Amino acid sequence: MEMQKMESNQDLIYHYVRESIYSDPKNGSGVTTEFIATNLQMQRTNVSANLNKLVRQGKLVKTKTRPVRFAMPSTQPAGDAFTTLIGSSGSLKRDIQLAKAAILYPSGNLNIQITAHPGSGTSIFVDRIIHFAEENHVVNKNGPTIAVNCRNYANDIHALDAVLFGENDDFVDSCFDQARGGVLFVNHYEYLTAGQQARIVDLLDKSTQFYELNENPQFAPGKAPFMIFSCSTQGKRQLEHKLPVVITLPSLDERPLSEKMQLINRFFAQEARTSKRTVSVGIPALKALVLSDYVHNIKELLAAITMACANAYVRVVNDKRDSISVSLEDLKPAYRKSLLKEKENQTTLNILFGDMEKMIFDPSDDNTTARSRTTSEDIYGDINKQYASLVDRGVGSANIKSLIDGHIKKLFDKYNYYDFLDSGANQQQLAKIVKPQIIEIVRDWLSACRKSLNRSFDNSVFYGLCLHINSLLTVKVGHKRLEENQAKQLIVQYSQEYKESVKLAQILRDELGLHLPLEETVLLMFFITPEKASTKGHPVVLYIMHGNSTASSLMETTNALNQNHNAYGYDLNLDVSTKTAMLEIKAQIQKIDQGQGVIVIYDMGSIKIMLETISEETNIKIRSIQIPITLIGIDAARKSAMETDVDYVYHTISTDIQQMVVTEQQRPKLIVTLCHTGEGGAEQLKNYIDQYSKLGIQVKALAMANKQELVSEVNDLRKVYQIHAFVGTFNPQLFGVPFIPINKVFENTRKDLDQILMFKPVLSNAFAYDQIYRYFQEEFKYADVALLKRFLPEIMDELCLAYDLKEDQRVGLFVHLGSMVERCLADDTTVSEPQGKQILTHYPEDVRRIGKILKPLEKSFKIIVTDDEIASIVTIVRKL
């Protein structure tokens, strides 16, 4: 009898030690014998004897401190179900301790309420709770686990009644009945009516009698289930006072950036495994994701990463070997905008990223803590199927990308990626000022417009239209907002959109009794009409520099020298906040834009992010060029203050500047092949280069079907690649990229292909001509180096055929020809010398031949090569 009592006391002590450690952070290092004896009202000697037995059995460990403390073995908590949760030792530590205490409570597990913002990981947390309960044999692994999501029954309360209380309202076969001996998880109980919540409260009060007295013989025997209830932070928590343990999970924005980064790493690792590709992510994209605010928390972060990977996947879908390269541009503008917060979080970002340029996620990396993502697998599988289908139908790859971009949006709808990002909460706010009937009408009509117009619409269209229609019902418009002639012109211009607007007007008349005149029906059309870009004016230049008058001075100098007065300046004072600066820059860009875009030259900081955000918000084309003169000056001044050797400072600064150029050039090179008629010719040219070039440069074929589409496609490619050259039947003259005509490729032998692709004269020996081009790029102010790359090799080949030139002569002549073009454009012609006149007289045949060879150069650059310049060339080729 005494032995049984001792064993009973031993179990009681063990359970109390475990509960004390898991439920209170202060007891993390263990509890003392005195603490246990006092709280359990037991004799200290008995407690000590039992504790030492538990230590010998391996159930507890004893510290070497004074006083001695008894704790759980380190292997047990380190390997429990909660350790897979990111934040288990950080933001979720207290919540996990509460959950463990509820599960391990000595007299039986305690029911739990979890309160959380939507998307904060409630389902995953509940999953871990259940696993922990199974590990500790609190619930049977083979027992039932019943989950009820009340949100799924928001529009069918009667069906939810049947699930909760049984078909006959007697709890027979209800969720409470089915969960006997297992776990019942009631999610989103804020969707329950007041009556339903009251019945559950009554059930919780009588749960012991309900389950254990088994008064109804129809009920199967079994103990009460372990019950978990969850609701949003805004929900009515009528059950809270009936549930002994209440856990409030933090939102994603309440968690530290380090935990955000761990989640980001896990989600990208999942994308690598499900896509079966290596995923490479640039640090700017990672910083944007870390700094972003997420209204829908972890689920929104997951969707953002999946969408970014899907966008990047489209670029390499046709090449199984390529990795998925996610860049900042693959994220939505709202996430990119978060980089404006980079400065204030610089210390943390430095800890997270250091000097890294990108992070690589390997598909073979088996991370067992990450959950499987079947929907993500389906998305990549569907993208592959769509790509194969379009190829089979003969659609060119230039058009495939835009088609698949739209397909991705449909896939996200198909797999309900946005179910958790629904605007339910926002629509509830909207319903306070707009009739629910209007919301329903607008939702159905926009859905029909998506199909008939094959066009997607932002949420802003939905909300704006609801508010507009509501104003038509509540506010009397006393004047015409659109003239009749204007309305008729718009009807002709947008006939399809007007047709849909008439349908909406008819619905509003039939269901709301709202009779709209013609002009108001046309105004409805504006909500679904695509914006048209203006074609007037020219691009303008805007300097944005830190300081009081730096940008203004550059603007004045530029306008004084070129007399076009198309340069503007914005002085970014150091004491102006980022938010204020962006608003002022946005206002200035909107004011100076002539419809053709703005070239912005800036020095440093978050200006690039501001410009991208402004471009997205205003639809103004903004092209930015960073010249970090201020940053270089700051660095030079800092190093000068630390060193005494001017040459050392000069060398380190020069090296840093060169490294900036190298970093920009580290992007993989790409050759783009083009043709006028479809994509067939460009594809053949691509295959030819792939087969015979040994440069290892990737080649992509594009079609010229639409100039604007080509510009957009090339601009997207420039975000990932350094475009080396266009090769094809026409020169698109885009972004200063050099052009190689198709005839030059096929009129020379295959062994000369790489010489041509690298802009080297075919008849010249191997030489680093790219160094000369780099010199031209740095020194020339007037000559277009891309044009020089096209014509100089051809001219050099003709001169090499006509004259026996040694390699040093060829190199010297090459530099001379480029410099000659620069002088002619600068109107800096050479002075006539007597020796030049003699050469013109004695070598008339050479003068004629060289003049003829130089004609393409004159025509392309619109220059006239003087006789004195030709005389200089004769001197070189004749070795005079």
Least confident of 319-323, 336-340, 369-373: 369-373
Report whether pLDDT(433) > 80: no
CA pair distance 374, 787, nearest whole angstrom: 51
| Angle, helix 157-165 to helix 194-205, in steps of 10 degrees | 10
Q: Average the pLDDT over 628-654 and give the result.
A: 84
Q: Is 340 exposed, middle or buried (0-12, 13-18, 19+ CB in 10 A)?
A: buried
Residue range 569-589, pLDDT digits in tens? 999 888 888 888 888 999 999
CA pair distance 259, 220, nearest whole angstrom: 45
Are 612 and 604 within 8 A, CB to CB? Answer: no
Q: Average the pLDDT over 526-553 and give the result.
A: 77
DSSP assignment of 692-708 equals H--S--EEEEEE-S-HH
pLDDT at 412 (0 to 100): 59
Which residues are paired to 672 by β-bridges?
Answer: 700, 726
Report whether pLDDT(369) > 80: no
- 595 Cβ partners below 8 Å, 6+ apart? 533, 534, 535, 536, 537
Report whether pLDDT(204) > 90: no
Which residues are paired to 598 by β-bridges?
Answer: 540, 622
CA pair distance 688, 504, nearest whole angstrom: 55
In which band, very low, low, confident or very high, does the pLDDT at 229 lie, cut at 50, 70 and 90?
very high
Residue range 47-95, pLDDT digits in tens? 888 898 888 888 888 887 778 888 877 544 446 788 888 988 899 999 9
Are 404 and 713 within 8 A, CB to CB? Answer: no
Report whether pLDDT(744) > 90: no
- 651 Cβ partners below 8 Å, 6+ apart? none
pLDDT at 569 (0 to 100): 93
CA pair distance 482, 823, nearest whole angstrom: 58
Q: Average the pLDDT over 411-427 and give the result.
A: 48
Q: Average the pLDDT over 8-23 and give the result.
A: 78
Closest CA to 242 of 203, 213, 214: 203
Name the more confident of 300 and 745: 300
Least confident of 430-434, 555-559, 564-568: 430-434
Q: Average the pLDDT over 580-605 and give the result.
A: 89
- Calculate the average pLDDT of the chain: 79
Residue-range domains of the chain with CATH: 2-74 (1.10.10.10), 81-250 (3.40.50.300), 258-420 (no CATH), 431-528 (1.10.1790.10), 540-663 (3.40.50.510), 668-877 (no CATH)
Report whether pLDDT(222) > 60: no
Residue range 677-703, pLDDT digits in tens? 445 457 767 877 888 888 888 998 886
- 76 Cβ partners below 8 Å, 6+ apart? none
pLDDT at 764 (0 to 100): 60
DSSP assignment of 193-220 equals -HHHHHHHHHHHHTHHIIIII--STTSP
